[in-house]
Amino acid sequence: MSLVEILGHTPDREENYSSASPEYQSNGIYTVKGETFMTVWAYRNYFGLAEVRPEENSRITNEVIHWGARCIKTVPDRGPFKEIYAFQVGIIQHAIERDDGKTNVNKGM
């Protein structure tokens, strides 16, 4: 699937998804109309990637929002944030792989 194929419009919904939503799977993971959406934190946690500071996840989230990626707004189960965006799994994977590549280049790897 190309990046163009996974970009799209935000699903029509005014209120945020939360643990009370029928779409809720676990903290930061939702299934909306058959598609899985994850926050950056949930993706890292689910796939066993290294933990990073919340600022790193926020930076990646803001970058993906800037791309115009399809997203949903969620209320986290815990933590200091009141609202967190979740994206389709493929777009999160792309963003993290792209970010890791930048990090490795910057470190001279």
Per-residue model confidence as pLDDT tens digits over 70-107: 999 999 999 888 999 999 999 999 999 988 776 543 33
Per-residue model confidence as pLDDT tens digits over 21-77: 999 999 999 999 999 999 999 999 999 999 889 999 999 999 999 998 999 999 999
Task: Quote the tokens at residue 75.
Answer: 């209320």
Q: Answer yes or no: pTM beyond 0.85.
A: no
Q: What secondary structure does DSSP assign to 2-51, as a single string?
A: -HHHHB-PPPS-SSPB-TTSTTEEETTEEEETTEEEE-HHHHHHHTTPPP
- Domain extents in the chain: 3-106
> Residue 13 pLDDT more than 80?
no
Task: Quote the tokens at residue 45.
Answer: 């946690």
What pLDDT shows up at residue 15? 76
